[in-house]
Amino acid sequence: MGLIGSMLPAMGRQYWLVKQEPESYAWATFEEDGRTSWTGVRNYQARNNLRSMRAGDAVLYYHSVSDRQVVGVARVEKEAYPDPTATEGDWVAVDIVPVRKLKVPVNLAQLKEDPVTSEMLLIRHTRLSVVPVSEAQYLRILELGKTPR
């Protein structure tokens, strides 16, 4: 994040959630790497969400398929740029860095039970791999994960 980005007030921050199969790129690997380029998105709605990300936005990290739980919080480090893995088409990537692992992972069943998080696009639009999250939903997930802000 550049000087301007670091000076932006936190109140304008947006919240997101990205999905990844742990077999493809687990949170633990992400933490070891310290930073990653979020490439490979090939869905227009997901791409538009990547484009809307701003440096400093919070990104929940969800393990899909075999794990089905939110496991950590990341932060947008570099805003959308052309996806280097795309050989054709108009696709973008962003760079994210791990911020903290949730003290307790929050699983899909919990998210469905909770009245706040059950409205999430993660649940209502299951095939979208990059989704916006409301501040209330974000805070509720941290609470369920017994994780300080």
Q: Give least dist CB 145 to DNA, A.
A: 17
Is the C-alpha dihedral spanning 33, 127, 49, 74 positive or negative?
negative
Query: Which residue stretches of the chain are H helix?
Result: 3-7, 22-25, 27-33, 44-52, 108-113, 121-124, 135-144
Q: Give least dist CB 44 to DNA, A.
A: 5
Tell me the C-alpha to C-alpha distance, in Å, between residue 38 and each of 16, 20, 44: 13, 10, 15
Residue closer to DNA, measured from CB, 8 or 126: 126
Q: Give least dist CB 131 to DNA, A.
A: 9
Q: Give me the residues that bind DNA (CB under 7 A), please.
A: 19, 21, 43-45, 64-65, 68, 108-109, 112, 125-129
Residue closer to DNA, measured from CB, 37 or 45: 45
Residue closer to DNA, measured from CB, 128 or 139: 128
